[in-house]
Structure 1
Amino acid sequence: MADPASSDPQRTGDLDRDNTLLQAAAFAEHLQRSGVAFLPRANPDRVAEFKQRFAPSIPIAPATEKKAAVEQVAEEKILPKPPESRPESRPESRPESRPEFQSTSIRGEAAKRYPCEARPVSQRTAELDTLASTVAACTKCPELVHCRTQTVFGEGDPQARFVFFGEGPGADEDRTGRPFVGKAGQLLDKMIVACKLTRDEVYILNTVKCRPPGNRNPEPEEIENCRPFFESQLEIIRPQYIVCLGAVGTQALLRSKLPIGKLRGKFHRYFDSKVVATYHPAYLLRNPAAKKAAWADLQMMLKDAGISLR
């Protein structure tokens, strides 16, 4: 069946305009979260139009006009008319662009904002470089130190809006010192491109920075030894979205023991970052049928971010 919007140029134009407004709002939030000190002055008329389109429940009329607006809505039988004697009530305040998260069983301090303020990009880069040097000299895990060729710290945009958080380095990563460069990394690259992003626009890291022998899963003690490193990376970058790839990364970040099937399909929270749990690219290579579910997880994130895939 043909899409009715495709035969109606005016409706198609309206949809394109709506998508542009959503993307602009999401981008503005990202700039503010990243510590940008200047944003253009808002156009009051366009702000009012935006609120009417996407947040009709938020009153935009002056306080003196609120009562008349409520009575007009009541006459249209959309809302019951309030009693005359009832004092005027103010709308409850809402956090801007912060929807309720479906998962609450996460680490105790996760609902708070990152403890430090956003840094300028030059400072973020310097702090990440210093942290990478500390990681390279780490000897907390004797078995991993004995097996590694080099540490794999992470790479990407230091003020990335999207972070992809994996499990640990494999043979190719251990050889090159870069995360996700093997077959699983090639699939991750395709997933990133499908999200209308590039590898340079995101940041990629793992729970542990050394390759476990035989490509085994990291031991809990090894993850805890590396926890200060990946938590510091995330605090410096302050991403809006963290895509956890596989059960190991998801459970480590959220401090959860639930399987990936129970964690995916909804937003979680790590400080003021939104966390999406999905399948690891290596798992998708072994189980291609799961790619549809992984793509659904990414689409959920993109819709929330205001990125249109049309």
Structure 2
Amino acid sequence: MTSKKIKIADLIIETGLTYSGIPGADKIYTFAKIGASFVRDYISEQSEKKAYKFHRRLLLSDDKSQSETPADADLDAADYHALFSACLADIEEEKSELYGNLAKSIATNKTPKEYKRLFILKLKEITWDQLDLLANIHVIESHRIMPTLGNWDMTTKELLKNHDPFSARGMDIHFLYQNKFIAEEKITRIGKQFIESCIPSEMLQPSAYDYKQWLGATFAMLTLQENGSAFHGCHSIADHFRKMRVKGSTGLMEGFLERDNEIPFIDFLIIGFQNGKELPPSRLNNLEKLISRKVALQVIFMSDERDAVVPLTPNAPYIAISQKNIDHAGQIAYDEIGRLLMERKANRGH
């Protein structure tokens, strides 16, 4: 038997959602072309809010001005009724738009056909908190999220580890594992498809969780002093780069140069030291090798700005930081690195 199809164009007309403002009941519930008169049995103030949210998400773009779903798209009547009925019956009003979003994903074939009935059932079963947790996991895994402290990418472990299994969060986590939406602290392929089918894309962005993202460039800070103003100046520079959302490793000391070490996955290197610093030939040779592979900047801290500036190597640019501008060392280094990276990009373009 062929399932009856509901045309999106008909729904737009019947719901009155092409007009501004919340449609009245006579606009929303007349569905003469789709045989939806049964909906009138559900009418209440709460049901009307849910119905509006459902159809707004199904039919309109985010600015509510025009249809995001192609007017020639269609939806099986059975799927439409199943989703709309579940929306009206759900005690969590927050999920109303998600039913409409899933209907839109099905109508536009963004949801694989083999998953549509499963996803309809699971959207009815899952709670808002469980959806929010799954969306949070998806965001963390899809972006380079800054942790509250530290210079690494945030992971899902803090969301999923060390929760009382009988707490609300513990039971939410168990539900996601039980339904194969997550496995081994990662979102699964079906979990990713499910959350992208139900949750609007703007709710799957870091800003939805007040997260900050690392920017593209990464660096390593090589500090050639274990104390004193140069040591503290290097930490000040690292703090400024983190404030500017530039990810870096800052624990490298002079001993790192004992061997010919590579530093993978970085875009630039900062070498901080006190003016007059000298390195043994072997360490200087290893430093030269590092500099030859990456954009590098020597940051030379001056005890007396009248002294002659003595870089460790002539093969990398340098900036001199005096005691009077040490509080601005981070900004000075940040600006110079930006110039060097742009210069390299321009040279590669020629």
In the superposition, the TM-score normalised over structure 1's length comes to 0.25
Which protein has the larger Cα radius of gyration, Structure 1 or Structure 2? Answer: 2
Higher relative contact order (Cα pairs below 8 Å, separated by 6+ residues): 1
In the superposition, the TM-score normalised over structure 2's length comes to 0.23
